[in-house]
Amino acid sequence: MDTYSILVVDDEVSNLNALVRAFRREYNVLSAANGEDALAMIGQNDIALILTDHRMPGMTGVELLEKASQEHPDAIRIILTAYADDKPVIDAVNAGYVYSCIAKPWEPEEIKVIIKEWIEAYEVSRSSRELYTQTLLKSGIITRE
């Protein structure tokens, strides 16, 4: 398995550091303390998964993931929230901007399993897309430019 880049976003430094520690052995972990910095990183990196807090000043996690879905539509987008019944979060899941919600407080071992499963799904999707492209190339339906 490749080493994938994941982006963790949280305005609370202690939470951000805990998330980085939880994933740094398995993934290339990028971090941002706000939505604007996260969007800049998304524009400059190939991100497999974005894990963000929802309630942050300036830009909410939902707003970030909606914008990220346009920049990196294939990236897995997960939100951390203490408010699972929050209407904007539910609406974002229903609209497809958010793949999954993780309730706060989270346990390191539990969140590692969840992220691993989503990265595996990302890997399968990416492999399928590459195989499909190769099939189209070989059949002459498309060409590389």
Q: Give me the pLDDT at residue 112, please.
A: 94
Q: Give me the pLDDT at residue 85, please.
A: 67
Q: Give me the pLDDT at residue 50, please.
A: 97
Q: Give me the pLDDT at residue 84, please.
A: 63
Crossing angle for the helix pair 87-95 and 61-71, to the nearest 10 degrees: 20
Q: Give me the pLDDT at residue 18, please.
A: 94
Q: Give me the pLDDT at residue 143, please.
A: 80
Q: Give me the pLDDT at residue 75, please.
A: 93
Long-range contacts of 39-44 (CB under 8 A, 24+ apart): 39/64, 39/67, 39/68, 39/71, 41/7, 42/7, 42/68, 42/71, 42/72, 42/75, 43/71
Q: Give me the pLDDT at residue 30, please.
A: 97
Q: Give me the pLDDT at residue 114, please.
A: 93
* Under-50 pLDDT residues of the chain: none
Highest CATH level, class, for 5-139? alpha beta
Q: What is the pTM of this model?
A: 0.84
Domain boundaries, the chain: 5-139
